[in-house]
A and B are shown apart, each in its own frame.
Chain A
Amino acid sequence: NAGVTQTPKFQVLKTGQSMTLQCAQDMNHNSMYWYRQDPGMGLRLIYYSASEGTTDKGEVPNGYNVSRLNKREFSLRLESAAPSQTSVYFCASSEKGAANYGYTFGSGTRLTVV
Chain B
Amino acid sequence: RKEVEQDPGPFNVPEGATVAFNCTYSNSASQSFFWYRQDCRKEPKLLMSVYSSGNEDGRFTAQLNRASQYISLLIRDSKLSDSATYLCVVNKGGSYIPTFGRGTSLIVHP
Interface residue ranges, A against B (CB under 8 Å)? 31, 40-43, 45, 48, 50, 58, 90, 97-100, 102-108
Residue pair B96, A40 in contact (C-beta under 8 Å): no
Is B22 interfacial (CB 8 A cutoff)?
A: no
Which B residues form the contact surface with A (CB < 8 A)? 32, 34, 42-46, 49, 51, 87, 89, 91, 94-98, 100-103
Q: Give which listed residue, A43, A50, A104, A106, contacts B46 with CB less than 8 A.
A: A104
Instruction: List, sorted by A's number, 19 A–B pairs whose CB atoms are closer than 8 Å.
Output: A40-B102, A42-B103, A45-B97, A48-B97, A50-B96, A97-B95, A97-B96, A98-B91, A98-B96, A100-B32, A100-B49, A100-B51, A102-B34, A103-B34, A103-B44, A103-B89, A103-B98, A104-B46, A106-B43
Q: Which 9 A-B pairs have the closest CB atoms?
A: A42-B102, A97-B96, A105-B43, A98-B91, A102-B46, A43-B100, A50-B96, A102-B34, A107-B43
> What are the residues of chain A within 8 A of B42 when measuring CB–CB?
107-108
Residues of B within 8 A of A42 (CB): 87, 100-103
- B96: nearest chain-A partner, CB-CB: A97
Contact A99 B46 (CB under 8 A): no
| Alpha-carbon gap, A98 to B96, bound state (A) | 6
Q: Is the CB of B95 within 8 A of A103?
A: no
Within the complex, the shortest CB–CB distance from A38 to chain B, in Å, comes to 11
A112 to B16, CA, bound (A): 40
> Are B43 and A41 interface neighbours, CB within 8 A?
no
Closest Cβ–Cβ distance, residue B77 to chain A (whole Å): 25
Q: Which residue of A has the minimal Cβ distance to B4?
A: A42
